[in-house]
C-alpha cells in the first residue's frame, strides 16, 4: 500500500535552516508529482511546493519562494524540502502528498512539525 513518511521536523530559531524528508513506498515513485502542503497551528491547509516526476518542473507558493527548495531522489524514493531563512510564520505541520497527473493529491503522510521560535 502507498506510504509516505515525513521526517526532519524540529524546533529552529528564526533565520535558521532545516531539511525535511519524505520517504515513499508502495508505488512507482517517478510516475508521480510530489508536493509539500503545510498547516499552521489551528489553521487551514496551504500548498507550499511541487516537483514533477522527472524533476523538470517545480513551483513554489509566493510565501516561500526564494527561501525553500524542493528536490527528489527517485533512486531513494524520497522527496525533500530544504528550508532556509525560516520565520515564525513558517511554523506548521508539513505534509508530503502524492500528486496525480490530473491534479489530485491522493495520498498524504502524517506530517512533520516545524517550529520556528527563539
Partner 1 sequence: QSVLTQPPSASGTPGQRVVISCSGSSSNIGSDTVTWYQQLPGAAPKLLIFRHNQRPSGVPDRFSGSKSGTSASLAISGLQSEDEADYYCAAWDDSLNGWLFGGGTKLTVL
The footprint of partner 1 (CB under 8 A) covers 35, 37, 44-47, 49-50, 59-63, 95, 102-111
Residue 56 CB, nearest approach to partner 1 (Å): 13
Q: Are strands 78-83 and 18-25 parallel, antiparallel or unpaired?
A: antiparallel
Task: Return all residues near 105 (Cβ < 8 A) that are at least 6 apart.
Answer: 35, 37, 97, 98, 99
In which element (H, E) is residue 80 found?
strand 78-83
Residue closer to partner 1 by CB (options 16, 46) is 46
C-alpha cell at 22: 519524505
Distance CA 44, CA 107 (A): 18
Residue closer to partner 1 by CB (options 16, 52) is 52
Residue 53 CB, nearest approach to partner 1 (Å): 16
Residue closer to partner 1 by CB (options 14, 101) is 101
Residue 43 CB, nearest approach to partner 1 (Å): 8
Amino acid at each position: 500500500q502507498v506510504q509516505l513518511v515525513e521526517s526532519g521536523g524540529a524546533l529552529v530559531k528564526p533565520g535558521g535552516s532545516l531539511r525535511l524528508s519524505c520517504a515513499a513506498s508502495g508505488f512507482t515513485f517517478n510516475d508521480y508529482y510530489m508536493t509539500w502542503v503545510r498547516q499552521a497551528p489551528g489553521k487551514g491547509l496551504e500548498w507550499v511546493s511541487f516537483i514533477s516526476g522527472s524533476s523538470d518542473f517545480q513551483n513554489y507558493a509566493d510565501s516561500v519562494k526564494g527561501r525553500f527548495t524542493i528536490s527528489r531522489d527517485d533512486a531513494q524514493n524520497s522527496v525533500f524540502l530544504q528550508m532556509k531563512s525560516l520565520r515564525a510564520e513558517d511554523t506548521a505541520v508539513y505534509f508530503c502528498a502524492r500528486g496525480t497527473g490530473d491534479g489530485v493529491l491522493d495520498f498524504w503522510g502524517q506530517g512533520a512539525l516545524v517550529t520556528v521560535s527563539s
